[in-house]
């Protein structure tokens, strides 16, 4: 009969092997470092192209828990495009291996079916957000950083708040600089921590993440937003990660050197953006917890959903 020591060793070896297999499918890596695959569709919307700005022509497919998709929900709200661009909410289903469309859309009930309508041979990742063209039945763009620029720039003749410009030319350089740093160390940095497959990969990502958060905390000592007193797309891109930080990334992704609540200026910044008109309507903390803790089995095999949500109310 195997003694307890051997049982533990067998269980550890079996679980580590299974974990590595599951992680290889969930999060491709190179030398233990998580490598986020590139988006597939990168078309634009303009008056002279295949996809012209029109009311009720386009649909955004988004998951409420996804920080990348959340960007598009916020910009759609801030610009007042709810009556211009339709929204379909999708939900993750590990059993189906991806996002599902509970009510159906375009005769599709999974996001993979939607992608397959464009290319029946498509074998890549079926990610959100998706900007879909109902007229030509195709995906215009599935890169969140590009979709939010399109929402900001291309539908002003239909927007309720066309005067709001989240990507002004005079701030373009500083916005782009922030975006580059924040994407690598924060937006993707939390995933590089959570999906790291070696100790060194994790530590490199974690120190990079908190070094930049420390830098931003100093900037916000004298600035209302990243680029001064004006809200920009850089703030939107940072906010959707910060709003999930203490709730999910601190514990589940091991980003636990500090919480956002330990940063006075970052906390003030999150609260202010959350309380902008329309933004809180895009934040569903219960769904965020359910989708991360409930669906990322390799990181939380017990599926236990923690109690508590942040309070950003005025």
Interval 140-161: pLDDT, tens: 999 999 999 999 999 999 999 9
Annotated catalytic residue within 58, 191, 225, 292: 191
Pairing of strands 86-93, 58-63: parallel
Q: What is the mean pLDDT of residues 157-179?
A: 98
Residues in the chain: 314
pLDDT digits (tens, 9 = 90+) for 85-109: 999 999 999 877 799 999 999 999 9
DSSP state of 40: S
Count Cβ atoms below 10 Å from residue 112 Cβ, excluding itself: 19
Which part of the chain is CATH 1.20.1050.10?
169-283
| 297: pLDDT strictly greater than 60 | yes
pLDDT digits (tens, 9 = 90+) for 12-33: 666 566 556 555 556 666 777 8
Q: What pLDDT, on the 0 to 100 scale, is given for residue 15?
A: 56
Q: What is the mean pLDDT of residues 261-284?
A: 98
Which part of the chain is CATH 3.40.30.10?
58-153
Right CATH for 169-283 from 1.10.287.990, 1.10.1040.10, 1.20.1050.10, 3.40.50.800: 1.20.1050.10
Q: What is the mean pLDDT of residues 228-243?
A: 98
Dihedral over alpha carbons 69, 48, 84, 227 (to 10 degrees): 50
Confirm whether 206 is a catalytic residue: no
Query: Rounded to whole angstroms, how far apart are CA atoms 112 and 130?
Result: 12
Strand (E) or helix (H) holding 30: strand 29-30
Q: What pLDDT, on the 0 to 100 scale, is given for residue 311?
A: 84
* Phi/psi-derived region of residue 225, left when phi > 0, alpha when psi is between -120 and 50, beta in every other case: beta
pTM: 0.93
The SS3 call for residue 154 is coil
| 2: pLDDT strictly greater than 80 | no
pLDDT digits (tens, 9 = 90+) for 177-198: 999 999 999 999 999 999 999 9
DSSP state of 305: P
Q: What pLDDT, on the 0 to 100 scale, is given for residue 63?
A: 98
Confirm whether 66 is a catalytic residue: yes
Average pLDDT, whole number, for the chain?
92
Bond into 278 cis (ω within 30): no
Annotated catalytic residue within 34, 41, 51, 66: 66
Half-sphere exposure of 169 (CA within 13 A, CB side): 0
Query: Rounded to whole angstroms, how far apart are CA atoms 79 and 191?
Result: 29
Q: Which fold has domain 58-153?
A: Glutaredoxin (3.40.30)
């Amino acid at each position: 009969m195997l003694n307890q020591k051997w049982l533990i060793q067998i269980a550890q070896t079996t679980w580590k092997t299974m974990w590595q297999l599951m992680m290889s499918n969930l999060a491709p890596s190179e030398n233990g470092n998580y490598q986020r695959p590139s988006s597939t569709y990168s078309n634009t919307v303009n008056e002279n192209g295949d996809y012209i700005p029109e009311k009720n022509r386009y649909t955004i497919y988004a998951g409420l828990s996804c920080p990348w998709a959340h960007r598009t929900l916020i910009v759609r709200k801030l610009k007042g495009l709810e009556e211009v661009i339709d929204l379909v909410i999708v939900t993750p289903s590990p059993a189906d291996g991806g996002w599902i469309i509970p009510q159906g859309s375009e005769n599709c009930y999974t996001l993979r079916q939607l992608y397959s309508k464009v290319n029946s041979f498509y074998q890549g990742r079926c990610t959100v957000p998706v900007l879909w063209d109902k007229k030509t039945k195709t995906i215009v763009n599935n890169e969140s950083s590009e979709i939010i620029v399109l929402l900001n720039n291309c539908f002003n003749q239909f927007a309720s708040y066309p005067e709001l410009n989240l990507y002004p030319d005079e701030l373009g350089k500083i916005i782009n600089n922030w975006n580059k740093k924040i994407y690598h160390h924060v937006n993707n940095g939390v995933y590089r921590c959570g999906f790291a497959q070696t100790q060194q990969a994790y530590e490199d990502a974690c120190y990079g993440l908190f070094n930049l958060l420390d830098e931003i905390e100093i900037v916000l000592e004298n600035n209302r937003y990243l680029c001064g007193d004006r809200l920009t797309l850089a703030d939107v891109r940072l906010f959707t990660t910060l709003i999930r930080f203490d709730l999910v990334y601190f514990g589940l992704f091991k980003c636990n050197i500090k919480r956002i609540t330990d940063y006075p200026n970052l906390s003030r910044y999150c609260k202010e953006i959350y309380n902008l008109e329309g933004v809180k309507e895009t934040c569903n903390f219960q769904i965020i917890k359910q989708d991360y803790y409930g669906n990322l089995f390799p990181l939380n095999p017990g599926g236990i959903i923690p109690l508590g949500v942040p309070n950003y109310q005025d």
